[in-house]
Structure 1
Amino acid sequence: MTSDKQLQDIKFSVLDLAPITAGGGPADSYKNTIDLAQHAERLGYTRYWLAEHHSMPFIASSATSLLIGHVAAHTSSIRVGSGGIMLPNHAPLVIAEQFGTLETLYPDRIDLGLGRAPGTDQITAQALRRDSSSNGHNFPEQLEELRGYFDPSLKTGMSNVRAIPGEGLDIPIWLLGSSGFSAQLAGELGLPFSFASHFSPNNTLPALELYRSRFQPSETLAEPYAMVGVNVIAAETDEEAQRLATSLKQQFLNLVRNTNLPLQPPVENMEEIWTAQEKAALEQQLGSSIIGSPETVKKELQEFLDRTQADEMMVISQIYDHQARLRSYEIISEIVN
C-alpha cells in the first residue's frame, strides 16, 4: 500500500523503557530519562511515553505514574504519558486519581495510554493483581469504570464514588495493543489506538485494518487515529547502527532464554551468542525494526509509513550508550522535519 503521506506529514514521539544498563542502576536510568525527554522536547517530538513493566532487571519504569510526573516536571511543552498503564494491575479509581493529579499539575500535557497485558510474567502478575479473576478479560468493564470517573455522564454504577482530582478533566485515553482485541475496542469506542509493532510486527496490518474498519466516530475522534511503535536505531553508518542494535537483540534473546539481565553493551558478532533457531525467532519478532544510517532509516521509515498509513510513529531506541541513543533520536528528527 502506498499513498502521498510523507514522513513530514505525521507526528513522531518517543517511548522510553527507562533502560537499566549493565554497570548502571535505576538512578542512572532516571537521569538519562530526563536528559532524553528534554532532548526530545528540543527536537520537536510530540509526546514522551513511559511503559509499565515489573520485575524486569532492564526496565526502571515500574512506578509509571511517578516517573511521568518526574518527566513532566523537568520539561515544559512535550506531552507526557503512559505507553501504557496496564489497567488490570490497578483499581480504575486509583488510575483516575493518579492521572487526575498529573493533569492538574501539568494541564493539557498528560496522555493516558492503557493496555490489558500484565507487563510481566505470570508469577509477578499474581503478586500485582492478587485476585486471579483480574486477568484482562474484564478490561472493557474496567475501561468503562475508569472513563466514568473522568466523565460522570458515562457512569453506569458506583455513582457516589468520585475521583478527586480527576472528575471533569479531559485526559486523552489511548488503547494500546499487540493483537486485535484492543484494536477492535478502540474502534468501537472511537478512541485513538497505538499498536506495538516494535515487538509484534506480524499483527500490525491486521490490527490496524480491524481498528479502522470498526471505527465509530465519537466525541473524542471524528475519524481513526492510529499510532505505531517502531524500534529505530540510527547512527552515522549502517555498520555502526547494526553494532548498536546488538544490545536490543541481546535483550530479546535474554527474554526468550528467561535470563533477564540489564541492557548489555553491543557486541561485534551475534552469531557467537545465538543459535540458528533463536536467530530466526528474534528476526521475526524484531521484523519491523529499522536500523541503519540516515539514508537507510529514511527509506525504511517511509516504506513502513506506506504500509501502515500511520498518523503517528512512536520511536523506541534501546541503545546501551546514552550519547548514541541521544544521537539516534537526533538523526530521526533531522530526517522527518
Structure 2
Amino acid sequence: MLPISILDLAHVPEGSTPADALRNTLDLARNAERLGYERFWLAEHHNMIGIASAATSVVIGYVAGGTSTIRVGAGGIMLPNHSPLVIAEQFGTLATLYPGRIDLGLGRAPGTDQRTLRALRRDPNSADSFPQDVLELQALLGPLQPGQVVQAVPGTDTNVPLWILGSSLFGAQLAAMLGLPYGFASHFAPEALMQAVAVYRARFQPSQQCAKSYVMAGVNVIAADTDAEARRLFTSVQQTFTNMFRGTRGRLPAPIDDIETYWSPMEKVQASAMLACSFVGDAETVRERLQAFIDRTGADELMVAAAIHDHGARVRSYEILAEVRRQLRPAEARAVG
C-alpha cells in the first residue's frame, strides 16, 4: 500500500485564533493516527497571521506528545534561518522524548520575507551555505567523533532521519548527492516536478540512511461526499493563492459559491498553475486522479495538504482519502499487475 502522509500548516481560519488552529492540529493528528497515515508534518513560516506553526519544533513536540504511534516531523525546517547546532539540539531532544517517531525535512527557502529574515537575525545570503549546513547538522545528529569539541545534547547519535525538500533541481541534486530522501513541493510549485524527480533518481548515491532513492510528492487533496461540495471547499485555497498575488495574505478564508466572481482571468491562470497538483472531488474522483498522478510520477509516498476552512470538513476529507488509499497502487505494482 502506498504510504500517504499529512502536511499541516496549522492554518488559522477566518473567525478563529492561533490557539484554535493548534488545538485543531492536534485533533487532526490524532485522527491521522487513527486512520493509518504514515506521518504528520508541520512547516515553518514566519510573520503570517494565517499560519500558527512558526515555532515548528514546539508544535511538533505538542503533536508528538498528544499521539502515540504516528511519525511526526518538519516539512520543513528552513535551515538558513537557524544554526545547525540549535536544530540538532531541538530535534535531538524531540527524538529523545519520542524515539523512533521524529523526521526532519529541510528546506533552503527562508519561509518568509526579507525584513522578517533580518528579524530572525540571519544573513539574507545564508541560503548559499545550505549544503554545508545540512552536512554539519547530519554530523551533529550522528555518532560522536574523536576530537569533536562541540556536540548537541541531546542530539548526538540520535540519527534523526533527514529529508531534503524543494521545488527545483538544486534540492534534487543535493538529495541525490547525499543519498537522502527527497520531498518535492508540487502542492504549490509543480512546474519542475518531473524534471527534478528524474534528476534525483538518475544521480542518487546510496547512503547509510537510504539504500535507494525515495520520492515524496506533495499534493493537495480536498475530498467530500460530492464533487460539488469538494469544489466549494477548495475555493478557500483558491482565494488564498489569489490573495498572495494581491499582496493581501491573511487568515484562511471561508469557501464561496463561485470562485469565478473572486479572481481575475490572469489570477485564475496564475493560481491554477500553482495548484495543478490538486485533486478535488468525491472518493471516486480523487481515486482516479491520484492514481494517474502516482502512475505518472512513480512517487514512493504522497504528502497531502488540505487547507479547509471548517475543521470537521477537513477531518472528513482525510477520512475519505484514507478509504481511497486502500484502492491506490504504487506505480510499479500497477504496471506489472
With normalisation by structure 1, the TM-score equals 0.95
Q: Which runs of 5+ in 2 are unaligned?
A: 327-337
Q: Is the counterpart of residue 202 in structure 1 residue 191 in structure 2? A: yes
Pair 1:267–1:126, CA change in 2 (3 A): same
- Which of residues 47, 57, 72 in structure 2 aligns to 1:65? 57
Give the Cα separation in 1 of the matches to 2:41 and 2:121. 23
Q: CA deviation at 1:289?
A: 0.6
- Which of residues 104, 112, 134 in structure 2 aligns to 1:143? 134
Q: CA deviation at 1:324?
A: 0.4
- Which of residues 171, 175, 184 in structure 1 aligns to 2:173? 184
- Equivalent position amino acid for 2:248 in 1: T
Q: Percent of aligned positions with the same letter in both sequences?
A: 56
Give the Cα separation in 2 of the matches to 1:188 and 1:33. 34
For residues 53-84 of structure 1, the C-alpha deviation after alignment (integer angstroms, 9 at most, x for no partner) is 01111110000000000000000000000000
Q: How many residues matched?
A: 326
- Which of residues 91, 102, 120 in structure 2 aligns to 1:128? 120
Q: CA deviation at 1:234?
A: 0.3
For residues 168-205 of structure 1, the C-alpha deviation after alignment (integer angstroms, 9 at most, x for no partner) is 11211000001111111001111011000101111111
Q: 1:270: which partner in 2?
A: 259
For residues 230-283 of structure 1, the C-alpha deviation after alignment (integer angstroms, 9 at most, x for no partner) is 000000111110000000011111111110110000001111111110001111
Give the Cα separation in 2 of the matches to 1:208 and 1:317. 23
Q: Is the counterpart of residue 167 in structure 1 residue 159 in structure 2? A: no
Q: CA deviation at 1:32?
A: 0.3
Q: 2:330: which partner in 1?
A: none
Secondary structure, counterpart of 2:133 in structure 1:
helix
CA contact (8 A) 1:176 1:196 kept: yes
For residues 89-137 of structure 1, the C-alpha deviation after alignment (integer angstroms, 9 at most, x for no partner) is 0000000000000000000000000001001122212222432331x11
- Which of residues 76, 79, 83 in structure 2 aligns to 1:84? 76
With normalisation by structure 2, the TM-score equals 0.95
For residues 203-244 of structure 1, the C-alpha deviation after alignment (integer angstroms, 9 at most, x for no partner) is 111111111011011111111011011000000111110000
For residues 275-313 of structure 1, the C-alpha deviation after alignment (integer angstroms, 9 at most, x for no partner) is 110001111111111011111000000000011101100
Q: 1:193: which partner in 2?
A: 182
Secondary structure, counterpart of 1:245 in structure 2:
helix
- RMSD of the alignment, in Å? 1.2
Give the Cα separation in 1 of the matches to 2:252 and 2:222. 15
- Equivalent position amino acid for 2:259 in 1: M
CA contact (8 A) 1:184 1:211 kept: yes
Secondary structure, counterpart of 2:177 in structure 1:
helix
Give the Cα separation in 2 of the matches to 1:223 and 1:204. 19
CA contact (8 A) 1:229 1:314 kept: yes
CA contact (8 A) 1:144 1:154 kept: no
Q: CA deviation at 1:153?
A: 6.5
5 Å-filtered alignment, 1:217-296, equals: 217-296=206-285
Q: Which runs of 5+ in 1 are unaligned?
A: 1-8
